[in-house]
Structure 1
Amino acid sequence: MKQPKKLSGQMLVRLLLLTVVLIAAICTPLGFQHKGLPEVKALAMKEQAAGGTATHKVNFAAPAPQKLEPVHTSAIGSAGASAALAASQTKKAETLQENQKEVQGKTVYLTFDDGPSPHTDQVLEILREEEVTATFFVLGEQAKRYPEKIRRIVDGGHALGNHTYNHDYDALYDSFGQFWKQVKATEEVLREITGTRTALVRAPGGTYGHFDKTYFNLLEQGGYKVFDWNVDSGDSKRKGVPANEIVANVKNAKLQDQVIVLMHDGGGHEQTVKALPEIIHYYKKLGYEFRTLSAEQKPVQFSLDPQVGKKKNRPAPSAEWIASNVVPNAALFEPELPLTVEAGGLQTRLAPGEYELRDGQYVAPVRMVMERLGAEVYWSEATQSAFINWGDAYIVADTRRGVLTAVRPDGTYAEWEVTFERKAQALWIPLRPLLEALGHPIVGVVSTAGERRVSAI
């Protein structure tokens, strides 16, 4: 955010006059009455009575206004929210227990890392012929290169997992921020291809010697499930490991009720393809059931390397970064819930579909949210800007510049760089900079059993 600048009296007068002229001349009223600009209100009503002008061709339809509910901001994070959160955690625990009951017995999870590649099609054909399913932990750069193979994986009834974007050890294990960035990049690639996200993550090289407590804790807090393995086929220990050695590694592994087998379908793993049928036959003869990994089951994870913290001098993510990126991310993998927005002693509730979570921020149509909170909003088609007046706060959302400007009562102003989106004839704005510009910064973001909630002062 740029530092506030002091306007001279003459400049302030010019700015206010210019704003009034622009609004009176070209702004589209968006279904409300502006208390401070009666002339604009009269002009809008006159234009609408005459059948509308060019400024009214854009239909910014929004749901009917909801009744505003006063709230007590001192109750944020109260026992009620804690109880709801506890109920949510209890429900998740019950789901986990039910899932564990379902997979009791001998179950094998075939997993393939580093794809997709030309070998992926061969693997998929073998799985189809053997009528078994598997989980593919894919690289973002490879998924972007072979989107049709990602679709075939999904169409075949298999599961997708996130194996980071480019498998670069130096970057991934230099800091958690770098690892998170690659996970999110791959997640978006897969979402663009399949329309869904995956909460399954596998660390390149496994977690041992790479993950510290920060990696484990923040990924879990962000809604991800990290899976290692308990059977290593050894197909990546060196280049060109022969098929008979891969099969022998699997057969020599300790038998367990729940087996997760590590294999690879990236480039250069044609011997894995050759070994796969015999590996499948081996587990079939032992009576194992083949399944795909699920975010609802307890993950297999390596123990924490006590020396990893000493070996790697990693910068710790700030509390602000965690609150902005990690905390709200978990909502991406939760059931669709309404979002309650409370600010200035008022609150409104957005139904699923009336908001989205993007890059760790809640985004919603500005007119819908602000009108429900009692604000006044105008749209200027000529300047491609929205004008918002809420109490003493006045802001301008300039979509051409990608800037949100707040004009303070004392003559100062502040700007935020914001990514705007026009969708379904509505202007969508991230709630965090919007509320901050209006003088109500967000102080809490929580997700409970029944809702998601954004609390601002």
Structure 2
Amino acid sequence: MYKVQWVIWQALLAMLMLTLPADLREQLPAAPSAAPAATSASGAVNGPATAPVKHSSWKTQQEAHEESSKIVYLTFDDGPSKLTSQVLDILEEKKIGATFFVLGQMAKQSPEVIRRIADEGHAIGNHTFNHKYNELYHHFSAFWQQIKQTEEIVREITGSRPQLVRAPGGTFGHFDKNYFKLLKDAGYAVFDWDVDSGDSKRKGVPAAEILSNIQKSPLKDRMVVLLHDGAGHEETVRALPQIISYYQSKGYRFETLTPKTKPVQFKVGGSLPKQRISPSEAWVSTHIVPNAALFANAPALAVAVGSVETRLAAGEYRISEGGAYVVPVRAMMERLGAYVSWNPLRQEAEISWEDHEPLILRPEQFEVQGDAIWMPLRTLLELSGHTIREVSFGDKLRRVQAV
């Protein structure tokens, strides 16, 4: 039937071509292909044999504009909120990418939005857990704790650790040189911004004012733009399509931030907190130094107990001088389905499972490093009633199988 229709179309087109002036003939639509689309058994027209990844649409669009050296990095802070999905809808419609610096407490409440951000190819950055200045900037260890807390929440949702970090309120007046150095040594990339949209200067900044602030900002070849998708920023959502159109009219393309992007960082200054406590060398050696391995290309460690398997990334485990795997007890056991509690009076850890007697770990059985207790993986598994059957090694993965 399709081929008959095609033949009729060709005949009609030929007749029209004879009656039209030459300058109008080129405006006629081309005839459809004689080869029909593949159909399923039900008669529905099929798409490609392999469905494209959802986020490839805006990335493909960007590849078509690679010739432009002028780049804008749109960044959104304080989400996710109910507004984040609206922002994502606009970005999807416009086929551009952005970077979302998320709060841990909000990510925990809306994991489905975090998954959508990741699935659609946008970048996720760490904006601490609760955004409270009085908790974050008096000593680095408190800032670090919130970074790690949020990092773990995002990892559990997406399977990846955010390496990008943005300080609530920006680094000026908050970060000293030590904050910058410790985060860099730990493997993180800290980003401030070039362009402040002003959408958080006060409550309810109108969309017209947000756009005006953008347009008044000096243009550079590469710019990081500060926006917000947290609660109360409906006007930012309203202004977003116009912001995108403005930069496109100036010849800019949009990209997501990566750890390799040259960071935008404010100079150290302002009213830094007085009597700030610096971390000790011992704290740095047990927290900062191992953390950098999380973002290295070292092999992960897969541990399978029966049909349950989990993985520790490089930096989440270490190898002793004798060649034994040493693991953090809580992270290891809770990922395998157990529950770990700590008794501060007795300095003991209790591991419990359903239908199993609790296992008590006493101080002589483990070592304390920072906020975690560590012990050899083999010892931990054997005390839990499991026997290692096989150990294998690879360039990207080390594997331990137990029963």
* Structure 1 residue 361, shift from structure 2 partner: 5.5
SS in 2 for 1:228: coil
Whether contact under 8 Å (2:367, 2:373) holds in the other structure is no
Give me the whole-angstrom Cα distance separating, in 2, the residues matched to 1:427 and 1:118: 47
Which of the numbers 241, 253, 257 marks the counterpart of 2:217?
253
Which of 282, 288, 298 matches 1:336?
298
Query: Which residue of structure 2 aligns with residue 174 of structure 1?
Result: 138
Distance 1:218 1:428, change over 3 A: farther
* Distance in 2 between residues matched to 1:338 and 1:152, nearest whole Å: 26
**Counterpart of 1:319 in structure 2: which amino acid?**
E
Question: What SS does the corresponding residue of 1:121 show, helix, strand or coil?
Answer: helix
Post-superposition shift, 1:182? 0.2
104 and 300 in structure 1: CA distance in 2 versus 1, 3 angstrom threshold: farther
- CA contact under 8 A between 1:357 and 1:363: conserved in structure 2? no
Matched, 1:356 2:356: no
CA 251–184 in structure 1, closer or farther in 2 if over 3 Å, else same: same
- Sequence identity of aligned pairs in percent? 52
- Work out whether residues 135 and 293 of structure 1, in 8 Å CA contact, stay in contact via their aligned partners in 2: yes
Instruction: Give the aligned partner of residue 373 of structure 2.
Output: 418
Cα shift at 1:333: 0.7
Equivalence map 1:104-143=2 (5 Å): 105-143=69-107
After TM superposition, list the pairs within 5 Å mapping 1:165-314 onto structure 2: 165-305=129-269, 307-308=271-272, 311-314=273-276
Aligned AA (1:168) = K
> How far apart in 1 are the matches of 2:247 and 2:91?
13
Q: Which runs of 4+ in 1 moved over 4 A?
A: 363-368, 414-417, 419-423, 425-429
> For the residues of structure 2 that align with 1:398 and 1:263, how far apart are their CA atoms?
45
| Contact 1:365–1:428 (8 Å) recurs in 2 | no
Using the TM superposition, give the Cα deviation of residue 312 of structure 1 relative to its aligned residue in structure 2, in angstroms: 2.0
- 1:422 Cα offset (Å): 7.9
Per the TM alignment, residue 291 of structure 1 is displaced from its structure 2 partner at its CA by 0.2
The whole-number CA distance in structure 1 between the counterparts of 2:364 and 2:263 is: 47
TM-score (norm 2): 0.63
1: CA distance, partners of 2:311 / 2:203: 48
Structure 2 unaligned spans of 5+? 1-65, 302-308, 326-348, 352-358, 385-395, 397-403
**1:148-199 CA distance string (max 9 Å, x none):** 0000101111000000000000000111000000000000000000011011
SS of the residue corresponding to residue 198 of structure 2 reads coil
Which residue in 2 is equivalent to 1:75? none
| TM-superposed deviation, 1:104 | 7.8
Shift of 1:401: 1.3
1:321 aligned partner, one-letter code: W
CA-to-partner distance for each residue in 1:30-68, whole Å, 9 max, x for gaps? xxxxxxxxxxxxxxxxxxxxxxxxxxxxxxxxxxxxxxx
1:119–1:273 contact (8 Å) kept in structure 2: yes
Q: 1:169 to 1:247 in 2, by over 3 A?
A: same
**Cα offset for 1:356?**
3.5
Contact persistence 2:104–2:149 (CA under 8 A): yes
What TM-score comes out, normalization by structure 1 length? 0.56
Whole-Å separation in 2 of the counterparts to 1:267 and 1:143: 13
Query: CA offsets per residue over residues 254-303 of structure 1, 9 Å max, x none?
Result: 10000110000000000000000000000111111100000012100011
Contact 1:111 1:136 in 2 (8 A): yes
Aligned in 2, Cα 1:174/1:278: closer, same or farther, shift over 3 Å?
same
CA deviation profile, 1:319-365 (whole Å, cap 9, x unmatched): 000000011101111112489xxxxxxxxxxxxx998358x662579
Structure 2: how far apart are the matches of 1:319 and 1:108?
A: 39
1:317 Cα deviation from its structure 2 partner = 0.3
Secondary structure of 1:154's aligned partner: helix
Amino acid at match of 1:314: R
Q: Pick from 114, 118, 127: which aligns with 1:163?
A: 127
Change (3 A) 1:428 1:212: farther
Task: Report how many aligned residue pairs link the two structures.
Answer: 279
Task: Work out whether residues 294 and 316 of structure 2, in 8 Å CA contact, stay in contact via their aligned partners in 1.
Answer: no
> Which structure is richer in relative contact order (CA contacts within 8 A, separation 6 or more)?
1
- What is the aligned-residue RMSD (CA, Å)? 3.3
Q: 1:103 to 1:366 in 2, by over 3 A?
A: farther
Gaps of 5+ in 1: 1-101, 340-352, 371-396, 407-413, 430-449, 451-457
- Residue of structure 1 equivalent to 2:283: 321
